[in-house]
Amino acid sequence: MNRGLMALLVGVLFLASASLVSAEEYPGPLVSMDWVQERLDIIKDPTQTEIRLVEVSKSKSYQKEHIPGAVNVKWSSEVFLPYTNRMVLDYAAMKAVMKKLGVTPDTHIVIYGDSLTMATRFYWTLKFWNVEKISVMDGTKAAWKKEGRPLTTEVPEVEPREYPLKYPPNGKIYAVKEFDVMRGLATGKVIFVDTRPKAYYDGKKFSVSKWVRSGHIPGAIQWSAPEEVSKDGKFLPVDQLKKMAEEKGITGDKEIIVYCNTGVRSSTTWFILSELLGYENVKNYDGSLREWANEFYLPMEPDNFNIYKDFPKTPLQELKEATDANAEKVAALEKEVQDLKQQLAETKKIAEAAKAEGKGVCGPTSVALLAALPLAGYALRRRFMKKN
């Protein structure tokens, strides 16, 4: 075999093995803080596209301090679609964020945030838009800082890069009100998981800025995130999370829809069930109670909210109530008039009978007439007083 062909074969084998090693090096959906720190030399280089570290936080938090090499995804302007109540990014908005990150489809994107919920929400958003090579760091920025790990204020100068975002998005992880949630209630084949604290679930607490009815979707299981699934800014061990889920009846053989107020807390539970426990049929209800609770025809438990009683009245409602009250008064007055007419008719009959008798005012009919007159006078007085 000539040397040129040999060299070509060696090169092909080298590239194939390098590709295999690269594929094998993907650590999965959750990486430790140690894993990130060990790769800071790579991460800090803004020109590389091997690993891109992303901090999901408000701008002020990022500017104050962040992990070296991390690029900021702003909460919430770059996580939710503008001019919506915290709904998932559309195609154009997601393209803009991916361009800012300067990544390729081969880049391993590692996400952390000021909270686990921030990190998992952006992770879920990337998954929704078919970005696959992504992980969440097991630890918030506060947890990283608490362990004395390095932080900086230096902002990496990452070159923007067009990303070939795939369309359509992944509807397998996205629950829609009509096709998923309402169908799930109607068939009884879906497990609903409410990821808010129990006070919200029980209807004892709610936020008017997000929804006007308290309580939960009928039949939902309460499992709050991150309170019950994390400690000190890190996820509980996977075996412990699995045990908790199974004890609540949340198992991988069923269709599951998770929700909260705005699809943020529920993204953490979705991440646990889908990515850590490997459940295959889990959807995050992006609309959550911000959408469901504001549709007054949809059922909630406990049913302790009367929109017509508890919600502020509109001028039209107030006018209708006043009109109805006046109509009742008119009806009562009309009945009084009818009663009065009947009494006068009876009095007239008595008078005519007395006249026919020709016995004067002392006859029995005249006595009856005199007795009826006070009743007619009483009715007239009542009518006069009501009109005035």
Task: Kindly report the three-state secondary structure assignment for every residue of 289-335.
Answer: HHHHCCCCCCCCECCCCCHHHHCCCCHHHHHHHHHHHHHHHHHHHHH
Judge whether 362 counts as a catalytic residue.
no
Cα gap 59→114, rounded to integer Å: 11
Q: CB–CB of 279/273 below 8 Å?
A: yes
Q: How many residues does the chain have?
A: 388
Q: How far is CA 119 from CA 126, 135, 262, 269, 284, in A?
A: 11, 9, 15, 12, 15
Rounded CA separation 264/286 (Å) = 8
Cα–Cα distance, 154 to 70 (Å, whole number): 9
**Continuous segment of H or E residues that includes residue 175:** strand 174-175
| Residue tagged active-site, from 250, 260, 277, 369 | 260
Cβ burial of 115 (10 Å; 0-12, 13-18, 19+) is buried
To which H or E segment does residue 57 belong?
Answer: strand 51-57
Query: In this structure, are residues 91 and 165 in contact, taking their beta carbons and an 8 Å threshold?
Result: yes
CA distance 97 to 91: 10
The H or E element that residue 234 is part of is strand 234-235
Q: Which residues are catalytic?
A: 260
